[in-house]
Chain A
C-alpha cells in the first residue's frame, strides 16, 4: 500500500476490565472506500470514536498523515480533516438545514464573518451551503426545521454536516441505520457519487452494501481485528464465516 492516510499502531481500548480490542493495527489508504464490519460489540463505533478523539485509547498510537494525533483534541483533528458522522442522528433539532450548514461553514472558516447581517452578504458561503444541500437532495427543505424533516433526509443532513467540513477522511458510522433496505441502497448510491475523491471509512451491517461499495474491508470481532483485505477475499475467508456464523 503506497499512501496510508490513517493507521493505528497496537491500539488498545479497555473500559475498566472489559477489553474492547487489543493490538489493533489498522491501515486506511488514501482515496479508498473502506468498510468495517463485525458483530455487535466488536468495537466498531468505539474505534471511530478513538480515531476522532471523542474517546482516549488505553494504549497505542493513532497516526494521521504520518503524525501521531493521540494528544490532539477532537476539534484539532476535525480541522486537520478527520470528521465523523454518528449512528444516531446528531443534528440541531430546532435549526433548519440552511442554518445548520451555514453554522458548519462558519466554524470551518473560524467565524470569519461575525454578524449575521454580514453573513447574509457573504454570497460565497451561502452559495456553498445551498449547493451542498442541493447536492444531497435537500434543496427543497432549506428552511424546514430539522426535527420536521423526514428521517431519511435527516440521515442525509448528518452526512452533509460532516462533508461541509471538507474532510480528508470521512468516517460514516452506519449511515443507513434505521433506513429500509431500499432507502439504504439509495443512500449508498448517492454517497458513492458525492464522496468520490474523499477517503471514506464506513461501518455497515448490510453485507450487500458492504461488498458492493467497499474497496477494502476490515473485519472486527471481540478482542481485535480478524482481517483486512479486498471484499472477494473477505467473503471467502473461513475466519470471517466463523465470526458471523459461530461455526
Chain B
C-alpha cells in the first residue's frame, strides 16, 4: 500500500460521522412538535459561523467584523424582496455576489495586517457600516429595518409557511450546498496553502505562494457564504433589521465558532446548536440574565476543552478507538 496516497485519500474521504450529521439534520424535520423556526435559526447561524471558520480556523485571521457581510447579504435579499424581485434562489446568488465583492475589497485592505491591527480595522469597518445603515433612515428604514419584504415560493412550488417547514428545508439545503463548497475548498491545494499561511507566512513566501492574493480570495469566499446566510435569514423571517450587521452579531458568531471548535467546518454548526438552544432555554427561564450563562459556558469551554466541542470530542473518539485497538496511528487532526 502506498502510504502517502492512502493518507491523502483519507483526508479527502467522507467520514461516517459526517454523513450521520447531515442525516440527523434532515431527520429532525420529521420529529413531531420540533421547533422548526429555532432549528432554521441554528442552521443559518451554523452556516454563518462556518464562513468565519474559513478565515479564522483555516487561515488564522481573527476578524471582529464578519456580521458586515451577513448584513450585506441580508439587506440585498431585503431590497430585492421589497422591490418586487421575489424569487429567492436568484436573490441568494446576488447576495453572495455583492458580499463577495465587498469581501474582496476588505481582504485587499486588511491582507497586510495582523493581530490587533486586523482586529481593529475589521471591527471599525463593521461599525461604520452599521452606523451608516442605522442613520440612513430613508434608504434603510433605520432602526425599524426594511418593511414589506415579499419572498416568493422556492422553485415556484414551496410557499414559506407559518410553521417554518419550507424555511427549514430550504435553509438546510442551501447550508448543505455551501458546506459542500467549503469542504471541497479546505480539502484542496488552496486549502492546504491557507493552512500553511496560518502556520507560517515567511515559509509560504519562500515556497513562492501568493500569500496576499490568497487572503483576498479567502475573504471573498467567506463573505459570500456569510452573505448567503444573511439572505437566508431575511427570506425565512421575511424582514430585515440593522441587527443583521450589528457588532453583537460579529461577537456572537465568534463565540459560536469558538464554542464549537475551529478548523473543523462542523464546529460552527455544533456551536450554533449549543448557543441557540441554551439561549432559547435560558431566555425562557430568565429573559434578562441569559448572557450571564452564555459567558459562563464560554469560560468553562475555553478553560477545560481548550479547542472547543468538536475537536475535544474528536480527541475522546480517537482515545476510544485506541482502546479498542483499531487505531492505526492516524493523527487526530481533522484540520484538513
| A residues at B contact (CB < 8 Å) | 52, 54, 74-76, 78-79, 83-84, 86, 90-96, 98-100, 102-104, 106-108, 111, 113-117, 119-121, 123, 126-127, 129-130, 142-145, 161-162, 165
Contact = CB atoms under 8 A, between A and B. Distances in A.
B251 interface: no
A127 B208 CA distance: 21
Contacts, number: 130
A108 B207 contact: yes
Contacts of A98: 4, 7
B203 A120 contact: no
A102 B8 contact: yes
A127 B3 CA distance: 10
Contacts of B11: 116, 120
A99 B192 contact: yes
Contact of B189 (A78, A100, A114): A114
20 contacts: A76-B208, A92-B196, A94-B199, A99-B192, A102-B4, A103-B189, A106-B189, A106-B192, A108-B208, A115-B12, A115-B184, A117-B8, A117-B187, A120-B4, A121-B5, A126-B5, A129-B4, A130-B3, A161-B206, A165-B206
Contacts of B153: none
B8 A143 contact: no
B208 A75 contact: yes
A15 B196 CA distance: 30
Nearest to B263: A94
A142 B3 contact: yes
Interface stretch (B140-148, B271-279, B284-292, B328-336): B328-336
Interface of B: 2-9, 11-12, 184, 187-193, 195-196, 199-200, 202-211, 329, 331, 333, 335-336
A145 B187 contact: no
Contact of B5 (A74, A83, A123): A123
For the residues of A in contact with B, the DSSP-based class is: helix
A242 B90 CA distance: 76
Contacts of B205: 54, 74-75, 78
A92 B203 contact: yes
Nearest to A144: B331
A71 B84 CA distance: 53
B199 A93 contact: yes
A104 B189 CA distance: 10
Contact of A143 (B184, B187, B203, B329): B329
Contacts of A83: 206
Contacts of A119: 8, 189
Given A83-B206, A116-B12, A120-B8, A94 B335 contact: yes
A123 to B, nearest CB: 7
A128 to B, nearest CB: 10
B203 A91 contact: yes
Contacts of A78: 205-208
A102 B192 contact: yes
Contacts of A142: 3-4, 7
Contacts of A162: 206
Nearest to A120: B8
